[in-house]
Structure formats: C-alpha cells, structure tokens
Structure 1
C-alpha cells in the first residue's frame, strides 16, 4: 500500500504527451526514432472499440502494420481482419498483414499475441480482463494502448498500478483511452482553470446521461461464460457498470481539474428500467447519483443514466470563487471577462493515437497508466457507494474492496462465471442498504 500514488497533487500538468516523466526508450529509439521503421501492432479485443483504435492508428503518420489479433470468439478475431482490409474501400489493406496462424481465439488468446514480434498491443477487452492482460503485456516488454476503464474492482486497480510501476522500469509506452486529455479544447480550458481563471474551485458537476446500451440475447450454442462475455456490459465483474464504462470520462475530467482524487463518496442509484423482459437478465444499474468529497471539502456531483426519451447530457462544469466554466463546451466566465476556445476542436480518439504513434516515432515514452487506474477507481468508488447506499472511503475500499472475479486468470469459455442466474433465471443484483463494498 505504501507504493500507491497519492490522491492529492496527482496530476498538475495538462500536456498529455508529458503525463508522468518523459523518458527515452532504448527500444523505441532503435526501432522508430527516424519514423521510417515499421511499428507492428497486436490487437487484443476485436469489438467496436478495438477496431476503432486500430483504424485510428492506421490514420497516423506512422509506418504501422497489424500483425496479430485475439478475441474470446473466433468469429470476431477472424472477422476483424477481413473488416479492416475492406474498410474505406480497401484503404487500410496494405496495413493488415495477419497470417492465419496469428489469428487467435479464447480467453487466453492474448498470451499468444504477446508471443509474436509485435511492438505495441491494443487492449480493448472488457474491463474485468484488462488487469491480467496489461500485466502480461508489460512482462512481455510490449508498449501498450489500453482502453478505459482499466479494471472493474479494487483488486484489479491495485494490479494495474503494480504493472504501471513495472512498465516505467522498462521504459514502456502506456496510453490509456481517456481521450479528452489529448484534445486541444480540453487542454487549453483546463490549463486556464489551473491558472486561476475562475479562482479556487468550489464545486464540480459531471454528467453522462444517455439513451441506453445494447443487449444481446442468448443463443443456443453459448455457454454461460460465453453469453456473459458476449453481453459483457451487463455484468459488473466484466464492465464495472455504466459509471465505470462510460461516466469515467467525465469523472476523469473532474479529477484532472481538481488535480487530485476524492477521499470519499456517497451515492444512490437503481435499475427501475431494467426490470422485465430480456434486458432484466442484467446486473447493472440504469441510474446513479454521486457526491464525491475531496480532502479540502470540495464536492464533485455526478449523474449517470440510461433512459430513452430523457434528458441526454454528457458534460463537465466547474464553479470557482471568481467564475464558472463549461469545460466540455470550452467556455469560461470569469472576473476578467468571458473566454471561448477559438482553435480547431480535435476528435480525441484520433488525436490520442496521433500523440502515441508520433511519440514512438521520436523515441519518446510517456505513461498514462497511473491516472487511468486512479480515474477507474474513482468510478468504482462511486459505484460501490451507489450499490451500498453508504459513504465509502477511498483508502478503505482500495485496500479491502471486494474481488468480483476470483481466479480470473484461469477462466475459459467453459468455466462457470463468478455470477450465475438464480432459479428464476435472473442474476443477483446489488440492493442498497444490504450490499457491502467489502470482501
């Protein structure tokens, strides 16, 4: 526990490419310093986000090539190779060089990608599997781009933090898919707030209120594990719930603005719209509300929701002693007048890959693993407060939080998952007032 990063003063700098100490990697220098040598990519997790991240890397200035893929399901692993070759009328076909013997499937398929000669791996799997996969990638000496969130429970976060320390010792690149930290409009807005544009922060408000999420009905041939992995968003051991999987972006911005992480959280939530029909075969909540408290008493108020026909809003706001900021709108109203970002707004999913690949080409290494883990844990803290209906302390939860998937390193598609349906066919769901966040 003494090696954990401090919650306070965790990230004051706003330049994403300088997150952590900028290091010169011997691996990166020798392979990519001139920008001409090929950067070989391995893809772990062939769903929409993994495919999207790969396309974003194809769109960079790097001499990149996809050489290996892995997914829990063979159809997805094989399918992504053909999809990428045909994408945009064959635009990326020359960047896809994945022989049949390097298309892997199964819950252990990530290990086989790491045995190839790829330089950089994309980890875009359900969050519950990421700690073990990230650890293995670091042990294999691979640079990593890992989508958020990076875990689904406290044990997973601790495991990621330990692997981050190892990645620093090995001078490995670690990019995390919290793309707002790479967008010019966010960088300048946050920099101005850190510079005092609205005075001292009094309160933060963050939102991810959306219309809903997909649900995939069971097929006859699926095992229980296969069904849950294919329908991963609806199981908290896999996704961490909506607050982790989506709302993490807004929580991350709030903590970035504050420059530290909260000491406690209380919250409330439920799943009134997930009762009845196939969608009831799910564990997750459809609404959460959290009050996070920082060490100095500053509050961050959080809303997350899935509601068709409701008020959809994905945004962040900051209130200070000298003004207010619409952070997502890149606007500030302060005592020195109003300001609005006038530059070119950037698409973060693409920009984060421009930054990552260009850094590798230069031979520069940055590491976003710590704030990826800490922001993930902020979301987990909120989830456990909502599930339990209690005030949950950061330090206690990080040390004693329950493990959602014991023995996950040995899971296969035939393993019984850590949560199974009851006699009525429904899955156990957290009941506030009865649920305990601790093991």
Structure 2
C-alpha cells in the first residue's frame, strides 16, 4: 500500500491465482470431509448457528449449484459454469418471478441437457424464496439478483456453509457493504470459496498488465482516468396487474435502493480496475452529475442519474478521474488509463514509455474465465476469496455516487459509518410491500439534487 496510515479504505488487492498460492487454508473442503460450524456474526446480522452439510469429494464428484436471480447474469453465470470442465449440475433456482425461473430453465436445458436437473419442488419464487433454494442439497450458490437484495442473500448463503459466486455490485449502500464485509469475514473462517463478478481480474491481458505496473513498469502511478460511457439501458413500463414492489423489482435498474445507480451497476468494473492498479482505495471523492435525459429527465419513471463525473483522491494525494454516462448521441467509451512517473498504461494490455509492451496472449471472455477459475479451484480442493475487494470496489462506486448526488466532498470513513440505509427492513419485504421509494403527489420519484442532498443518514 502506498500509505500505511490508510486504514478502512485499504485491503490486499490480489489476483485469484495469487489468492490460491498465498492461502494458508488449502484444506480439502471438497475431499471427503464434513464440517460443523456456527456463525460468529450474531443475531444482529440476521444469522444463527447452522450446520455446514457434508462436503463433496474433488475429482469426478458432482458440484451441485443453485441460481438465485434468473435474469441475464444469473442465466449467463449458470451457462458459464456448465461450460467448464467440472462435473456440475444445476439443482434449484430462485427468482422473485416464476416466469423468469422457467425461462432460464428452458434456455439452459436446451443448451446443457441433463446438467439441468431442477424438479418442480425446487423452483422457488417471491422475495424470500432464496432461503429455500440455498437450503437444498448444494455446494455452490450463484447470487445474481438486483444488488439491493444481495447482502442478506450472501449472508444467508455463508451461514449455510455454501461456496458462493456473487455478481457485482454486492450492495447499494453503506449498511449493505458493512453487512457483506462482516459475512466475508465469516466465510474466511469457514474456508468458503467466494467469487465476485469483477471478471477483468480473471482476464490474462489485465492480470499481466497490472502485474507489470505493480513491478514498476510505469513507475509510481500518479493519475488515472476510468470510463463507462454508453447509450442507455432498458426500461419496462408498469403493467396494470403489478404492485409497485413488483414493478420496481422487475425494473430494478431505475431505483437506487435496488441498483445503486449506473456508477455502481456498470462503472464499478472500471473503478475496480483503477483501485487494483493503484493497490489502494480512495479516501475521499468529489463529483457532479445529473438526470437530464434519463427517461424524460423529470423523475416520472426513474430516479437514477444519466451522467456522473468523479475526482477520487487516494491517501498519497494522487487522483483517479471517473466518467459514467448513459446518453444517446454522445461519445461512448468503456476503459481505463493510467499515468506513472516513468510511463503510461492501458490496463487491458498495453504499456507506453521506456518499458513499452503490448499483451500478445490469448484474449478470453472474462465471464467464462471467472467460472473456469472457480470450478477448477473447487475441483482441486483450493479456494480464493474475492469478497473483500468486491465489497470495497462496490463502496468506491457508492462513494462516487454520494459525492455526485450531494455535490460535496465525501470521505470514505465518514460514509461507511454514517451513509444512508436505502431500504430499511429489507429482510421483511414481500412483493406486496410498499417500496422504500414511491412517487410523490406530483407523480414523480425523488431524484437527488446536488447542493441539497445529504450523503449521510
């Protein structure tokens, strides 16, 4: 780390390979062992002592997995898992909506045949059905639900002793990040695999380039620019038969308590790369943004911003500048760039300056590669745990969002301690509950106004 005084905003930043090589707990959790463990998280975190079921043997034994959240990434992750060389079987699914479960099973069944073995009584729905899916006889849980629902689902999967792959971001607010970090600590005690869907960390082009940067190829990193600028996303109009909670859950990208805004849901990838390159997390951020074009730009359909710009500051005073945007007809770009005292870098595979170099290896599909890595590690009886950097990169995005919403300088430690709870009581929500955000008397959802919005509860 650049500065030993940086505390809560720092964490070891390591590749999956390094995580395996440096782990002191390479015990054969898939080699004919059974374990009993209680949790150390306490009732306040919603966990109670539970027995971890008998693990399965490595080698040819089946890795049974379940999918929580059957949308695009849930189906995609399941497809990627069944494309690996592992002996894997999908045994249960959950989604808030039955139709999404059946659509996923139909598509995956056509592609993978008997690797999909989900009986009728292991199709679970509703907002609390994830518990029943995780309670089935399984080894691995894939969590790909709207981010606002992930902290409690991850927590429950850890309590049940399951290995976990969870899509990014892992939460949408400070309380959710704290909850995930606490569960990550418990997962380490139980020697559980935790993979997070920040797939660039599994792509050889990024891994080799970042390793060269860390070895000094561009000297000290003094500034970075990271971008996720695109044209826009989907929107699903409310139907007459939907409750407001059903509408928001089905249209989750447009509500902060569910998605965390574009900076969390998509731009997190680039922010994660920037922090990986730097080997640290920022201590503060200031930013700006707005809602000018998002679904009419008046809050009647959506409450998230359509553009953000952030200046992140690290403990040593160096900067990372961030652009996140959904604007049709504007400049689109997704990528990262770094400047050092001895050269420059595109972390996806190129270094400029005296140590000029370009990646010439095989480019891979990161979504697929992260599942190759995860399943192969499980079959070898090895683990890595990406939960901590998944939570910290998520919080980097939340820090930027709150700086843009407020127009103020927001410090990491202050926000992590005092940031808003966007969905109080979320564990008790059903599809008939009133969401934490509803339209006002003017028919519009609340949209943060910089200069008036406070980032603190």
TM-score interval for Structure 1 and Structure 2 normalised by the shorter chain: over 0.9
Partner of 1:160: 180
Judge conservation of contact 1:180–1:249 (CA < 8 Å) in 2.
Answer: yes
1:282 aligned onto 2:302:
yes
In the alignment, structure 2 segments of 5+ residues that lack a partner are 1-5, 33-54
1:63 aligned onto 2:93:
no
For residues 253-301 of structure 1, what are the alpha-carbon distances to aligned partners after superposition, in whole Å with 9 as ceiling and x for unaligned?
A: 0000111100000000001102538984101000000000000001000
1:44-55 correspondence runs (5 A): 44-55=68-79
1:355 aligned onto 2:357:
no
Going from structure 1 to structure 2, the CA distance change for 1:394 and 1:277 (only over 3 Å counts) comes to closer
1:192-341 correspondence runs (5 A): 192-274=212-294, 276=296, 280-328=300-348, 330-336=349-355, 338-341=356-359
Going from structure 1 to structure 2, the CA distance change for 1:291 and 1:424 (only over 3 Å counts) comes to same
TM-aligned CA deviation for residue 23 of structure 1 = 2.6
Partner of 1:11: 13
TM-aligned CA deviation for residue 413 of structure 1 = 0.1
- The whole-number CA distance in structure 1 between the counterparts of 2:453 and 2:110 is 48
Judge conservation of contact 1:33–1:360 (CA < 8 Å) in 2.
Answer: no
For residues 89-144 of structure 1, what are the alpha-carbon distances to aligned partners after superposition, in whole Å with 9 as ceiling and x for unaligned?
A: xxx01100000000000000100011100110000000000000000000011100
1:66-81 correspondence runs (5 A): 66-81=90-105
1:118-133 correspondence runs (5 A): 118-133=138-153
Going from structure 1 to structure 2, the CA distance change for 1:277 and 1:438 (only over 3 Å counts) comes to closer
Partner of 1:404: 422
1:27-42 correspondence runs (5 A): 27-30=29-32, 31=55, 34-42=58-66
TM-aligned CA deviation for residue 66 of structure 1 = 0.2
Judge conservation of contact 1:22–1:366 (CA < 8 Å) in 2.
Answer: no
SS at 2:233 equivalent: coil
- The whole-number CA distance in structure 2 between the counterparts of 1:20 and 1:281 is 48
Judge conservation of contact 1:206–1:302 (CA < 8 Å) in 2.
Answer: yes
1:434 aligned onto 2:452:
yes
TM-aligned CA deviation for residue 83 of structure 1 = 1.7
Going from structure 1 to structure 2, the CA distance change for 1:424 and 1:112 (only over 3 Å counts) comes to same
Judge conservation of contact 1:292–1:300 (CA < 8 Å) in 2.
Answer: yes
Going from structure 1 to structure 2, the CA distance change for 1:20 and 1:131 (only over 3 Å counts) comes to farther
TM-aligned CA deviation for residue 86 of structure 1 = 1.5
For residues 387-416 of structure 1, what are the alpha-carbon distances to aligned partners after superposition, in whole Å with 9 as ceiling and x for unaligned?
A: 000000000000000100000000000000
- The whole-number CA distance in structure 1 between the counterparts of 2:20 and 2:381 is 13
TM-aligned CA deviation for residue 365 of structure 1 = 1.1
TM-aligned CA deviation for residue 72 of structure 1 = 0.3
Judge conservation of contact 1:253–1:316 (CA < 8 Å) in 2.
Answer: yes
SS at 2:171 equivalent: coil
Equivalent residue in structure 2 for 1:344, among 362, 379, 391: 362
Judge conservation of contact 1:17–1:355 (CA < 8 Å) in 2.
Answer: no
Judge conservation of contact 2:310–2:323 (CA < 8 Å) in 1.
Answer: yes
SS at 1:35 equivalent: coil
Equivalent residue in structure 2 for 1:420, among 410, 435, 438: 438
1:364 aligned onto 2:388:
no
1:43-192 correspondence runs (5 A): 43-87=67-111, 92-192=112-212
- The whole-number CA distance in structure 1 between the counterparts of 2:346 and 2:315 is 24
1:391 aligned onto 2:409:
yes
Going from structure 1 to structure 2, the CA distance change for 1:142 and 1:45 (only over 3 Å counts) comes to same
Judge conservation of contact 1:281–1:425 (CA < 8 Å) in 2.
Answer: no
TM-aligned CA deviation for residue 346 of structure 1 = 1.3
TM-aligned CA deviation for residue 423 of structure 1 = 1.8
TM-aligned CA deviation for residue 326 of structure 1 = 1.4
TM-aligned CA deviation for residue 24 of structure 1 = 2.4
Judge conservation of contact 2:16–2:202 (CA < 8 Å) in 1.
Answer: no
